[in-house]
Amino acid sequence: MTWRMRGLAAGGVLAAAVTVSVVAAATEAEDHAADEIRRYRQMLEDGNPAELMEMKGEALWREARGPKGASLEACDLGLGPGVVAGAYAQLPRFFADTGRVQDTESRLVSCMVALQGFASAEATRDWYRPGSDLEALVTYVATQSKGAPIRVPVSHPEEARLLAAGGELFFRRSGPLDFSCATCHSQDQRRIRLQDLPNFLNPADARASMVTWPAYRVSQSAVWTMERRLIDCVRQMRWPEPAFGSEAIVALQVWLQHQGEGGELQSPGIKR
Amino acid sequence: MSVRRRLSGLVALTMLASSSMAGAAGSLTEAIVREAFATATPEEWRDRLAQDDAQALCSQHRNQPPPEVAAQILESQRATVRLPEDGRLMGDWRAGEKLAGIGTGGHIGRIQPDPPGRAKGGNCYACHVMAPGEVAAGNIGPTLTGYGRLRGNTPEMQRYTYEKIHNAQAFFPCSHMPRFGHNGWLSPKEIADLVAFLLDPESSVNAGR
């Protein structure tokens, strides 16, 4: 703590001494950010392109597909077979049939395997590519939670275990740049270059972020699910890629959703 | 090089050390990490998940080490600091300026890896405001605009700045700043170029533009 304060104080002195040039730079930077926000607003008025994914996802949900020729309409997303409304707001959660805590992505894959007869490799193939079936299904499911408060259950021992693990993982540093999630996401009002970074230790920030996923990313021309978002942050950390649906990725989501508890979902979001 | 050899020795050693010191909760997380990355290939990528002492301690204490742990990290990190063999602490500020803006290099995985051989930069602008002309600058670290103008470029400042970039935690345990030299991310020449970018009176950090 004292170390941190000493470093910040040194930074503060330096900052005060060079106010003029820095204020100029910061103002321009804010202008850039404001421009970007205006662009999103404009896009929002034209409609969020994620709505197309929502429609595709709904069609996939209802269509009889796979070796068993079944739809996903009997899929249990945690609130009972076929209940989609509000389910995303309470995921990840423990499922007795798989014995695992699952996020929306991996739960949908379980249903595709169990109900439709897909091999799991087939259900997850290229899931991260823009426009994938899984991306569409997650967008559809999440949209059916619009307005619902985020409330992930943590009373099952497995849920509690992953919540604790997620909190630890958030601070776990390794790799050639010594990064952890906390490097970029543990202080208020920080930016990497011009990109605003939510502080996930601050519940208000966590809520504001978590209610917007999955989100259409203008820079990627694609909807990203939360798993996709996290895998990209792990990539920026210069770590290898975590496996789809792995406990590490699910644990981080349990912890992030828990930090964002009570936030009312606005999915799908729209982002840089 | 020697830094690299030291690092891989350190990694092997502390993989043992961290599992014994992190306690029950920590070993749960380590098992989860091993499982999540078990299929990441090639296998040497997984070396990036091994923690040295400083990484393990900073993780365990969530970057807020109690005083005795902070002192221990400071001491172990100070002992790693290496000055360049040719003794040149100030290189070419323009080369340093370029490095400060390069954010690519070292990304792995199957979805969006860097092409092989892609230049690794210092990416200082991700976290620091530096030359006032560069507006796309982050603020995880303190602003460094006018750094040399304000603090001078005496041999002591050159040495401090070189050592700071080489291993930030030799001065600030559990700093968010990467240990660029210690981890073998930047070469001694590249660090000297960055020292010049910060200290050379002609540099855009100090002269403005």
Q: Count of alpha carbons within 13 Å of A160, Cβ hemisphere only?
A: 3
Q: Quote the CA–CA distance of B80 and B173 in Å, as a whole number.
A: 13
- The answer on pLDDT for B138 being more than 50 is yes
* Mean pLDDT along residues B67-90: 97
**Does the CB of A125 have a partner CB in chain B at under 8 Å?**
no
SS3 A76: strand
Domain's final residue, options B53, B78, B103: B78
B145 in the same domain as B47: no
Per-residue pLDDT band at A30 (split at 50, 70, 90): low
Q: Quote the CA–CA distance of B178 and A247 in Å, as a whole number.
A: 27
B127 in the same domain as B61: no
* Cβ contact B48–A14 (<8 Å): no
B117 in the same domain as B42: no
Q: Which residues of A are catalytic?
A: 233
Domain's final residue, options B47, B78, B109: B78
pLDDT per residue as tens digits for the range A104-120:
999 999 999 999 999 99
Q: Is residue B131 in a domain? A: yes
Percent of chain B with pLDDT over 70: 87
B148 vs B15: which has the higher pLDDT: B148
Contact B121, B103 (CB under 8 A): yes
Residue A34: per-residue pLDDT: 62
Q: Is residue B54 in a domain? A: yes
CATH number at residue B107: 1.10.760.10
Residue holding tokens 């404009």?
A42
Q: Quote the CA–CA distance of A253 and A166 in Å, as a whole number.
A: 7
Residue B64 domain boundaries: 4-78
Q: Which pair of structure tokens corresponds to residue A209?
A: 């972020």
pLDDT per residue as tens digits for the range A186-202:
999 999 999 999 999 99
**Does the CB of B148 have a partner CB in chain A at under 8 Å?**
no
Residue B69: per-residue pLDDT: 98
Q: Is residue B64 in a domain? A: yes
Q: What's the total number of domains in chain B?
A: 2
Residue B27: per-residue pLDDT: 74
Contact B199, B146 (CB under 8 A): no
* Mean pLDDT along residues B49-57: 97
Q: Is residue B173 in a domain? A: yes
Contact A203, B73 (CB under 8 A): no
B116 in the same domain as B194: yes
Share the mean pLDDT of chain A: 89
- The answer on pLDDT for B26 being more than 50 is yes
Residue A3: per-residue pLDDT: 35
Q: Is the ipTM of this complex over 0.85?
A: yes
Residue A76: per-residue pLDDT: 98
Alpha-carbon gap: B25 to the closest alpha carbon of chain A (Å): 8
SS (H, E, C) chain B: CHHHHHHHHHHHHHHHHHHHHCHHHHHHHHHHHHHHCCCCCCHHHHHHHCCCHHHHHHHHCCCCCCHHHHHHHHHHHHCCCCCCCCCCCCCCHHHHHHHHHCCCCCCCCCCCCCCCCCCCCCCHHHCCCCCCCCCCCCCCCCCCCCHHHHHCCCHHHHHHHHHHHHCHHHCCCCCCCCCCCCCCCCCHHHHHHHHHHHHCCCCHHHHCC
Q: Quote the CA–CA distance of A184 and A251 in Å, as a whole number.
A: 19
Residue A47: per-residue pLDDT: 81
B109 in the same domain as B27: no
**Does the CB of A100 have a partner CB in chain B at under 8 Å?**
no
Q: Which pair of structure tokens corresponds to residue B155?
A: 């041999």
Residue B9: per-residue pLDDT: 37
Contact A191, B48 (CB under 8 A): no
A220 vs A231: which has the higher pLDDT: A231
Of A18, A174, A176, the CB nearest to B143: A18
pLDDT per residue as tens digits for the range A238-265:
999 999 999 999 999 999 999 999 999 9
B42 in the same domain as B130: no
Contact A136, A216 (CB under 8 A): no
B142 in the same domain as B193: yes
B169 in the same domain as B129: yes
B9 vs A206: which has the higher pLDDT: A206
Residue B208: per-residue pLDDT: 60
Domain's final residue, options B39, B54, B78: B78
* Mean pLDDT along residues A76-104: 98
**Does the CB of A34 have a partner CB in chain B at under 8 Å?**
no
B46 in the same domain as B112: no
* Cβ contact B36–A242 (<8 Å): yes
Per-residue pLDDT band at A48 (split at 50, 70, 90): confident
Q: Is residue B204 in a domain? A: no
Name the residue ranges covered by the structural domains of chain A. Answer: 1-46, 50-271
Residue A14: per-residue pLDDT: 34
Residue A133: per-residue pLDDT: 97
Q: Is residue B130 in a domain? A: yes
Residues of A numbered 162-191 whose beta carbons fall under 8 angstroms of chain B's beta carbons: which are they? 164-165, 168-169, 171-180, 182-184, 186-187, 189-191
Per-residue pLDDT band at A94 (split at 50, 70, 90): very high
CATH class of the domain comprising A50-271: mainly alpha
Length of chain A: 272
- The answer on pLDDT for B21 being more than 80 is no
Residue A42: per-residue pLDDT: 73
A47 vs B43: which has the higher pLDDT: B43
- The answer on pLDDT for A1 being more than 90 is no
pLDDT per residue as tens digits for the range A121-164:
999 999 999 999 999 999 999 999 999 999 999 999 999 999 99
* Mean pLDDT along residues A219-228: 94
